[in-house]
Amino acid sequence: EQGAEIELDTVTGISGEAGHITPADDAMWHAAVVGSGSYVMEGVGNSCELVVATANQIAINSGLMLLQGRWVAFEGQTAVAIESGTSGQFRRDCIYVRRSLDSVTMHDVYELLVLRGQSASSAAAAMRGTPEYASNSLFEGSDTVDIPIAEVLIEGVAPTASYIIGSVPCYPELVERML
C-alpha cells in the first residue's frame, strides 16, 4: 500500500498536546455550522434586544452574539453613548464591537463603540454616508477587528436603532431545521 504523508491537525482527537484546541479552531467550527459572518443568537437571554434608552444612549440587552465565529455574551444591559442630534438634521451612526488582542496577556478584549456619521439635510443623504471602520477578519489572523452590528439613525434629536447583522436560532433550533 502506498501513500503520501500529509500534514493534518487533529482538533478534537488525541494529539498528545496539552490544550491543543484553540479559540481559532472553535471559531472555525461555529462558522462552519452557522456561517462566517456575525449574528445575534435568537432565544438566548433577551436576544440582545436593542433599546433606545435615552436620546443619547442605546442599550443592548442580555444575549449572545456570534461574531466571526467567536461567542460574545452580553450579560445584563450594556449601553453606549451617542452624540445628540441637531434639529432639522439627520445622521447615521454605527455601533460596532472592536475585538483586539492584548499583546501582554494574549487575551481577547472586546469593546462596544460608536462611530459617528456625518450630519445631512435628509435621511437619504445620511444613509449614503457610511462611517469608516477597520474591516479586517479574525479568520485572516487580524489582531484588531471592528465588527459593525447596528446602526442608529438620528432624525433631529430622536434616535432609532436597528441591527445590520442577521439573527440565527440557537443551536437546538438550527439542528432541528437541518433534519
Averaged pLDDT for residues 135-153: 89
Give the three cell numbers for residue 61.
440587552
Summarize pLDDT for 72-113 with one digit per residue, the tens: 999 999 999 999 999 999 999 999 999 998 999 989 999 999
**At CA 124, angle to CA 119 and CA 127, rounded to 5?**
65
Per-residue pLDDT band for 175 (boundaries 50, 70, 90) equals low
* Contact between residue 67 and residue 86 where contact means Cβ atoms under 8 Å apart: no
* Contact between residue 117 and residue 96 where contact means Cβ atoms under 8 Å apart: no
Coil, strand or helix at 3:
coil
What average pLDDT does the chain have?
86
Distances from the Cα of 138 to the Cα of 74, 145, 147, angstroms: 20, 7, 10
**Kind of pairing, strands 166-169 and 108-115?**
unpaired
Task: Dump the DSSP string for 79-142.
Answer: EEE-----TT-EEEEEEEEEEEE-TTT--EEEEEEEE----BSSHHHHHH-PPP-----GGGT-
CA distance 26 to 24: 5
Q: Residue 45: which region, alpha, beta or left (left: phi > 0; alpha: psi -120 to 50)?
A: left
Per-residue pLDDT band for 177 (boundaries 50, 70, 90) equals low
Stated pTM of the model: 0.83
Question: What are the phi and psi torsion angles at 163 (to 5°)?
Answer: -75, 145
